[in-house]
Amino acid sequence: MTTSTHMQNAEILLRGVHKWYGQYHALDDINLSIAPREKVVICGPSGSGKSTLIRCVNRLEAHQEGHIFVRGVELDDDERKADAIRRGVGMVFQQFNLFPHLTILQNCVLAPMWVKKMPRNQAVEIAMSFLERVRIPEQAHKYPGQLSGGQQQRVAIARALCMNPNVMLFDEPTSALDPEMVKEVLDTMVELAGEGMTMVCVTHEMGFARQVADRVIFMDRGRIVEEGKPDDFFARPKTDRASLFLSQLLH
Amino acid sequence: MIGRLILTYPDGVRRTGIAFILSLITLGLYTLGISSAWIGHLVPATSGWLADNPALGRFLAAAMIALILAANWMALRQLNRRQQIIGVWIELFVLLMLFFYSFNLSFTFIAKKIGYMVSQGVTTTLYISAISIVIATVIALTGAIAKLSKNGVIYGLATFYTSLFRGLPLLMQIYIIYLGLPQVGYVIGAVPAGILALSLCYGAYMTEIFRAGIESIPRGQSEGATALGLSSSQTMGLVILPQAMRVIIPPTGNQFIAMLKDSSLVSVVGVWEIMYLARTQGQTEFRHIEMLITASMIYWVLSIGLEFLQSRIEARFGRFNVR
């Protein structure tokens, strides 16, 4: 009974998800339900499967066993279904993945114009409003290569928001940034969280996790080892692996 | 030891080095058996002495040429980079023309024929090449995408095609298409056969260029596009190919130039392009070399045109690379 109500209410639902790369068991029986407007931070040592997990949610990677539902639609081999889901799920990558041959503005209007068939004027208007929200409207006509890493990542966030997604996935959004640029990106993400966006964020920024996360998920070797409210998780980790990870992180 | 010598007497070592290089050039020219006749032409009074001392004359000629080269080098060094480039081009071009001039060509014959060479030959060569280039590009794009396909049938088709058409000599392909297709009941004209052979052959080479270009774009680019909801064809057309163009264009320009000249092979099936005309027009008055040199020069001019075009297109696709 609880699972079925979960299924109806959950924004994202994973049930018994497995994934292998050859012999390597990347995801091992993942069960996870994320409610609308919930903010979830996923952390864990490198190679623990956290990136793989969120890349399965918009099917950049295909899972091999189990079920993944996004807003009630199951992800399977039907690419059109995956495309439909991707339209409602924004993603921000560690390496920004802006398109270097297009200006900032062109980066932002590309998907609305080609995927949503939005008229150019409207797409530009929306793009400019999001670029203003991430505080770089004046860079609109530059190319990504002319911007700093922090600025590029904020553009990447704006570009994803232009598709008006219900969910935002962040895959280590600050890991490739110089230390002084981490804050500007985190500030943008905190703002976004305040507006009620559903967010799933793979990050090691524990300050950010404390500030915005409703739930912290700790992964190791492809499994969800521990989950809980950030205050509990950071203060009183239940497992040895989590406390070891946290102690290494704080050094 | 030598290092200390260089540090102590930098000027002396440099002069010795220059003298050494000059003597090397002189020796090289001498061993190549350079003629001293040109000194006799310039200064007739010396011709008697040159005839009496052939070895010394040759050595003198070699040394003078080495000195002329050195003087030329010094003179060019006074100019700025752009002028140097132009200067070198002019000098080498003049030398090339002198070389051709030494063949004792009949320029009246060339003048008589060149109009026809251009109106018939260049037009035919250009339109055969242009059509082939367009078809080859389409084939290359299709082939590259097929080669990156996960579907085994499509991949098999693409690899067999590139292997076959890169592996056979173009001349054989032209013969096989022109003479072979009628065997299976499809009679093909000389021009279409030539275009088909050129397109298929160069399409196969360019498939590899396009594939490498597409693969050179980091995977994050297609992931970024996919995550935004773009379909795979939109991802290819809007994100991957425009970036791959920067890698694809320079070698493709090479291929176009090579194809322009390889279109001369089509002359074997009797297409009236530049090469065919050069051979047939020269035959009538036994002036082969005139026509062949004229044809060569025409190919060169056309290639320069393509080079120019390539650099323009390259600049266009490279403009986002500014920092």
- Report the pLDDT value the prediction gives residue A108, as an integer from 0 to 100: 96
Going by their DSSP bridges, the two strands A167-171 and A89-92 should be labelled as parallel
Evaluate whether A30 touches A190 at the Cβ level (below 8 Å): no
- Report the pLDDT value the prediction gives residue B172, as an integer from 0 to 100: 93
Which contacts of B174-179 are long-range, i.e. CB under 8 A and separated by 24 or more positions?
A: B174/B265, B174/B266, B174/B268, B174/B269, B175/B268, B175/B269, B178/B269
- Report the pLDDT value the prediction gives residue B91, as an integer from 0 to 100: 94
In the DSSP assignment, the letter for residue A75 is P
Chain B residues closer than 8 Å to A99 by CB: 221, 224-225, 239, 243
The alpha-carbon gap from B262 to the nearest alpha carbon of chain A, in Å, equals 34
Contact: B320, A83; criterion CB under 8 Å: no
What ipTM is given for this predicted complex? 0.90
In the predicted structure, residue B318 carries a pLDDT above the cut 90: no
Task: Count A/B contacts: CB-CB distance under 8 Å.
Answer: 69
- Report the pLDDT value the prediction gives residue B319, as an integer from 0 to 100: 67
Contact: A86, B229; criterion CB under 8 Å: yes
Strand partners, A30: A17
- Report the pLDDT value the prediction gives residue A93, as an integer from 0 to 100: 96
The mean pLDDT of chain B is 89
Q: What average pLDDT does this structure show over B290-303?
A: 91
Going by their DSSP bridges, the two strands A89-92 and A223-228 should be labelled as unpaired
Chain A residues closer than 8 Å to B224 by CB: 93, 97-99, 156
- Report the pLDDT value the prediction gives residue B320, as an integer from 0 to 100: 65
Structure confidence by residue, pLDDT tens digits, A1-45: 344 444 557 899 999 999 999 999 999 999 999 999 999 999 999
Contact: B227, A95; criterion CB under 8 Å: no
Structure confidence by residue, pLDDT tens digits, A155-185: 999 999 999 999 999 999 999 999 889 999 9
Contact: B238, A110; criterion CB under 8 Å: yes
In the predicted structure, residue A94 carries a pLDDT above the cut 70: yes
The alpha-carbon gap from A117 to the nearest alpha carbon of chain B, in Å, equals 11
Between the alpha carbon of residue B65 and those of residues B24, B31, B35, B75, B87, the distances in Å are 12, 14, 11, 15, 18
CA distance A25 to A43: 18
Residue in A84, A95, A163 closest to B228 by CB: A163
Chain B residues closer than 8 Å to A87 by CB: 229
What proportion of chain A, given as a percentage, has pLDDT over 90? 81
Chain A residues closer than 8 Å to B228 by CB: 86, 110-111, 115, 159-160, 163
For B233, the closest chain A residue by CA position comes to A114
For B244, the closest chain A residue by CA position comes to A101
- Report the pLDDT value the prediction gives residue B323, as an integer from 0 to 100: 44
Contact: B220, A97; criterion CB under 8 Å: yes
| pLDDT classification of B16: cutoffs 50, 70, 90 | confident
Contact: A110, B242; criterion CB under 8 Å: no
Q: Say which range, B68-77, B136-145, B279-288, has the weakest mean pLDDT.
A: B279-288
- Report the pLDDT value the prediction gives residue B167, as an integer from 0 to 100: 93
For A109, the closest chain B residue by CA position comes to B228
Q: Read off the pTM.
A: 0.80
Return the biggest CA–CA distance within chain B: 88
- Report the pLDDT value the prediction gives residue B35, as an integer from 0 to 100: 80
Residue in B229, B317, B322 closest to A115 by CB: B229
Residue in B224, B243, B317 closest to A93 by CB: B224
In the predicted structure, residue A153 carries a pLDDT above the cut 70: yes
Chain A residues closer than 8 Å to B243 by CB: 99-101
Q: Which of B150, B226, B228 to mutate to test the interface with A (most CBs of A within 10 A)?
A: B228
Contact: A101, B320; criterion CB under 8 Å: yes
Q: What average pLDDT does this structure show over B215-241?
A: 94
CA distance B107 to B109: 5
Q: What is the Rg, in whole angstroms, of the alpha carbon atoms belonging to chain A?
A: 18
Structure confidence by residue, pLDDT tens digits, B43-64: 887 777 877 888 888 888 888 8
The alpha-carbon gap from A2 to the nearest alpha carbon of chain B, in Å, equals 31
What proportion of chain B, given as a percentage, has pLDDT over 70? 98
Q: Which of A73, A89, A99 to mutate to test the interface with B (most CBs of B within 10 A)?
A: A99
The mean pLDDT of chain A is 91
Residue B299: closest CA among B100, B121, B98, B116: B121
- Report the pLDDT value the prediction gives residue A251, as an integer from 0 to 100: 54
Residue in A89, A97, A111 closest to B223 by CB: A97
Structure confidence by residue, pLDDT tens digits, B156-210: 999 999 999 999 999 999 999 999 998 988 888 889 999 999 999 999 999 999 9
The alpha-carbon gap from B272 to the nearest alpha carbon of chain A, in Å, equals 44
Structure confidence by residue, pLDDT tens digits, B114-162: 888 888 889 999 989 999 999 999 999 999 999 998 899 999 999 999 9
The alpha-carbon gap from B86 to the nearest alpha carbon of chain A, in Å, equals 34
